[in-house]
Amino acid sequence: MKIDLLRIFFRFWLKNKKSEQKKINIDKVKVILVVSNTAIGDTLFSTPALRLIKNSYPNKKIIALLNPKNIDLFRNNPSIDEYLEYDGKWRSFLRTRKTLIQKEIDIALILHANEPQITPLIFFSNIKIILKAPNNNNEFKHLHYNSPIAKSLDKHFIDTRLELLEYIGIKEKSYLMDLFFSADDRKDRFKVSSKVWHIGFQIGASTPSREWNNNGWSSLAEAILSQYPNTKISILGSSKEIENANLISSKTNDPRVKVYAGCFNLVNAALYIDSLDLLITLDTGPLHIAAALKVPTIAFSVAGKITQSNPRDQLTKHIFIQKPETCIPCIDKKCKNPFCMDQISYQDILNAIEEIRN
């Protein structure tokens, strides 16, 4: 069993420490740190909060601490004044701490980040007011300014982030996610004929527990092409999905199906999603990229929850097919054999396509 000595050290060293509990005087705050350094979708869920902070306090400096793997996707966000990278590991803890201290930050809002590193990092960087949600079961919650906030399966991930803004005087709500491209990025926009209905298949997810079987994808492709002949299907995914993408394409054996898995960097993948008329996807990052770009989506999952993940843009159609858990309790990310996903049929998705088109 691996022993996390640094975690044990911080647990005992910070045991009797307390957060700054004086009333927040937002007028004296000059620099706000917003932390969202995990997955793409989790960071997109944070963009409504970032926009509300900048709109409410345009003269305050907003620094975002982001994951180096996906930071390029957020570099053009006008709500962010400065970008810092942190991979969430102990090995970069001291280097990141040194950078944070130099920024003279007044308040940190931890919108989404993994423990045990992030709260000790922020506290150890001389940032006196730390806000984090959810934190009810967090071993460092005594260092957080806010009272414990529990995780809820009935609450959208964006709502959890917006709750923290009330501590700095922002009660406005917004659920529109933001994604911006630079002028150079836009030069690489993909051109698709307006005469063709362009559908994307996002076949990969962050964990096997949220993936669908190849037969399902190939049967879906065949059914779509039969029902909607003037259609192009692009199979998307990372380099890890190339083998499955090729298998799905070969089973379909139709020139209207093209494999683009592993072909794009992160920004170009987003640009390609922006060219779609519809994205059919698992509950994973590209779902939220499409939502931020106002591309209609059909998502499906068992472990992922519609109440937490489905985009809330009322102007763009987003359908989330939710099937019941087959294992109690569901172990989600630890599951290697998600037979529960076999409950989802290609007919379920065809029905959702009809709803999108009507």
> Tell me: the pLDDT tens digits for 243-285?
999 999 999 999 999 999 999 999 999 999 999 999 999 999 9
Q: Which fold has domain 13-168?
A: Rossmann fold (3.40.50)
Dihedral sign for Cα 85, 88, 93, 97, please.
positive
Confidence of residue 68 (pLDDT cuts 50, 70, 90): very high
What does the pLDDT read at residue 193?
66
CATH 3.40.50.2000 fits 188-357, yes or no: yes
SS3 299: strand
Q: Does residue 1 register a pLDDT over 60?
A: no
> Tell me: the pLDDT tens digits for 117-174?
999 999 999 999 999 999 999 999 999 999 888 888 889 999 999 999 999 999 999 9
Dihedral of CA atoms 242, 245, 251, 257 in degrees, nearest 10, equals -120
Contact at 8 Å (CB) between 211 and 245?
Answer: no
Q: Where exactly are the structural domains of the chain? A: 13-168, 188-357
What does the pLDDT read at residue 3?
65
> Alpha helix (H) ranges present in 77-204?
93-102, 118-123, 157-165, 183-186
Distance CA 64, CA 86 (A): 10
> Tell me: the pLDDT tens digits for 168-221?
999 999 999 999 999 888 776 776 667 899 999 999 998 889 999 999 999 999
The answer to whether the pTM exceeds 0.85 is yes
Distance CA 356, CA 351 (A): 9
Among 261, 273, 268, 272, smallest CA distance to 237 is for: 261
> Tell me: the pLDDT tens digits for 314-353?
889 999 999 999 998 888 888 889 999 999 999 999 999 9
Could you check whether 13-168 and 188-357 share the same CATH topology? yes
What does the pLDDT read at residue 325?
92
Q: Does residue 310 register a pLDDT over 80?
A: yes
Distance CA 284, CA 341 (A): 14
Residue 113: CA count within 13 A, CB half-sphere:
29
